[in-house]
Structure 1
Amino acid sequence: MENEWIDKSPFTAYKGKTKNVDRFYLNKEELANIAGKEFLSERLKQVRDVFIFCCFTGLAYVDVFKLKQENIRKGIDGDRWIFTNRQKTKTRSSVPLLSTAVEIVDRYATNKVCLNKGLLLPVPSNQKMNEYLKEIADLCGIEKKLTSHIARHTFATTVTLLNGVPIESVSKMLGHTNIRTTQHYAKILDIKVSEDMAVLKKKLAMI
């Protein structure tokens, strides 16, 4: 049309369709089960730690894979934060480190592999990560398909939204460019709706 080769766009009447995808996440019991599990294998311990770190930071695999010590800096509150740019959207992501994430960072501060490569954590390839996560799920008796991305979903739901963190803050930490992307997580939290309505019932009962 711009070159005047055609008079009108053949896509004028086309309407794209979107498909809602179920986002699986771990509940707090499943999360605690994995975090507290004792593994004999060092590789499973490391993969579990990387996975739990993602659960408490919301970072996607590709972002945690390239994390370096310099990405950890003092935030506005004086505590340690992660400052990075999301690989997928190129947006800035700033996440305060929760105590669980801090423990994992400190655990690998003197790890030889991390020191040699200049990385924050010993993150394997995505294929190996998901392969070992399947093994971890079997050992922990978890039927959900564990992947590196389910950790990000767990951060958005179980760790933050279900604990009352405003959706705007969750969206900023996840590095979403549009809050509607974050709202997909809020839609699946029936338990949060139940808790919110329980609070409302108590308030109405006092009137």
Structure 2
Amino acid sequence: MATLLSILFFPKKGRSTSSGSAVLYTRITYKGKRAEFSTSRKIDLQVWNSKSGKARGTSEEARSVNRFLETIRASLYEVHDRLLREDRPISATAIKDIYLGKEEKQYMLLEIFQDHNDQMKSLIGKGFTKGTLQRYNACKQHIEDYLAFRGKGKDIPVVDVDHKFITGFDHYLRSEKDCAHNTAQKYIVNFKKIIRIAHANQWIQKDPFFHWKGSWKSSEREFLTDLELQEMAEKDFDIPRLELVRDIFLFCCYTGLAFADVKKLSSEDIVINISGKKWIKTKRQKTKSLSSIPLLELPEAILQKYADHPHVTSGKGVLPVLTNQKSNSYLKEIADVCGIKKNLTTHLARHTFATTVTLSKGVPIESVGKMLGHRSLKTTQIYAKVLDEKVGRDMEILQQQNKVVEGMK
């Protein structure tokens, strides 16, 4: 089989060269296509053998020129072999550029990922939250671990990411990292954003996610019942930190505010409408959408309870909220004390507001969505749970209507 690569040396006279000498050029031919470059070395045309493509004779000049040309030839073949080993596109121009040090910059996956995360870090509070950054940092760490798991070293060129890599990473997250299905999908979506950045910048020619389609499994979200809320509200705590975390949790249950939004809540966010009723009007930290919430009796009492707290009087917020990590930790203790078997978290309060406090009491889902600060009704429906007690009440109404119909017969 004929070789696909050939390397030829030839003299080319230029305007600045003397009549008896010429500059030697290298011609690379691969699959019939050529690329040429100057060796920047001159040779006396009388000692050049055009048939053999090298200097004739055994003079010192001839031996020096031939050694020089063989070094170039060997280097070019080495470049060709490296491209073969790395399964990269091969062309005469690519071989020439790599040899001359003009190789196109190779963008590395984790370097791109880190640059993205660094930019996101500088924009915390300006469109991004710490929680979002934490997820991207976690995703980057998972990819590092996956590369080590596959024995691929510390980083790979982004051009090496293909559909097989994506599906392999998905399987690794669920099998080795023990991620739930939806959690793994979220990490893949984070990873997809990084690849789309590379594609938009033309660092890769094809989008490996083109044939990938994520799937989400619906999950049952926990919430507290009226009895559990009453048990928690009436419980006396001897430990001040548990009482504080309980109060903040109940405030979230009866306002629907996310933990981050309660933490930043200020006196300016509490307004009085024309009817003299207090409302919370605040922009959500996550989406910047407006939440409009009537202030119920219990959350208003909690605000009054902490009105003289040093954190509040110093103007840092209307409630002395602890960190999310500490709050979640203390909520586990509160659950044990109250005999609640559910996994209490700060976000479970938001589910409780959407289900137990509002929807189950007949509040229209459109109104619930406005209070939660949702832009789409579909988002509200994720939280919406129709409780058995409401189904029972609705069926009782239906039964009464049926009795009326039967009495008219």
Relative to the length of structure 2, the TM-score reads 0.47
Q: Indicate the larger mover: 81-90 or 13-22.
A: 13-22
Number of the residue aligned with 2:224: 26
Q: Indicate the larger mover: 40-49 or 178-187.
A: 178-187
Partner Cα distance (2:254, 2:276) in 1: 19
Number of the residue aligned with 2:344: 146
Q: Summarize the Cα distance change of 1:42–1:17 in structure 2 as closer, same or farther, 3 Å threshold.
A: same
Alpha-carbon offset, residue 79 of structure 1: 0.7
SS at match of 1:88: coil
Partner Cα distance (1:5, 1:116) in 2: 51
Task: Confirm whether residue 15 of structure 1 aligns to residue 213 of structure 2.
Answer: yes
The question of whether the paired residues in 2 share the 8 Å contact of 1:75 and 1:96 is answered with no
Q: Summarize the Cα distance change of 1:26–1:4 in structure 2 as closer, same or farther, 3 Å threshold.
A: closer
Alpha-carbon offset, residue 185 of structure 1: 3.2
SS at match of 2:314: helix
Q: Indicate the larger mover: 47-56 or 75-84.
A: 75-84
Alpha-carbon offset, residue 103 of structure 1: 0.4
Number of the residue aligned with 2:381: 183
Number of the residue aligned with 2:306: 108
Q: Indicate the larger mover: 185-194 or 124-133.
A: 185-194
The question of whether the paired residues in 2 share the 8 Å contact of 1:134 and 1:145 is answered with yes
SS at match of 1:73: strand
Q: Summarize the Cα distance change of 1:55–1:160 in structure 2 as closer, same or farther, 3 Å threshold.
A: same
SS at match of 1:95: strand
Q: 1:69 aligns with which of 267, 275, 278?
A: 267
SS at match of 2:384: helix
* 1:85-104 equivalences in 2 (<5 Å): 85-104=283-302
SS at match of 1:206: helix
Cα RMSD after superposing both structures: 2.2
Partner Cα distance (1:90, 1:117) in 2: 22
The question of whether the paired residues in 2 share the 8 Å contact of 1:69 and 1:118 is answered with no
* Residue identity (%): 53
Number of the residue aligned with 2:246: 48
The question of whether the paired residues in 1 share the 8 Å contact of 2:279 and 2:292 is answered with yes
Q: Summarize the Cα distance change of 1:139–1:187 in structure 2 as closer, same or farther, 3 Å threshold.
A: closer
Alpha-carbon offset, residue 127 of structure 1: 0.4
Higher strand share: 2
SS at match of 2:308: coil
Deviating beyond 6 angstroms after TM superposition, the runs of 4 or more aligned structure 1 residues are: 1-10
Q: Indicate the larger mover: 11-20 or 62-71.
A: 11-20
User: 5+ unaligned residues in a row in structure 1: which ranges?
Assistant: none
Q: 1:169 aligns with which of 367, 378, 382?
A: 367
Q: Summarize the Cα distance change of 1:6–1:122 in structure 2 as closer, same or farther, 3 Å threshold.
A: closer
Q: Summarize the Cα distance change of 1:2–1:70 in structure 2 as closer, same or farther, 3 Å threshold.
A: closer
Partner Cα distance (2:201, 2:310) in 1: 59
The question of whether the paired residues in 1 share the 8 Å contact of 2:355 and 2:385 is answered with no
Partner Cα distance (2:384, 2:307) in 1: 35
Q: What is the CA deviation profile of residues 156-207 of structure 1, one whole-angstrom value per residue up to 9, with x for unaligned ones?
A: 1111111111111001100111111212333453432332222122112211
The question of whether the paired residues in 1 share the 8 Å contact of 2:247 and 2:302 is answered with yes
AA partner of residue 16 (structure 1): G
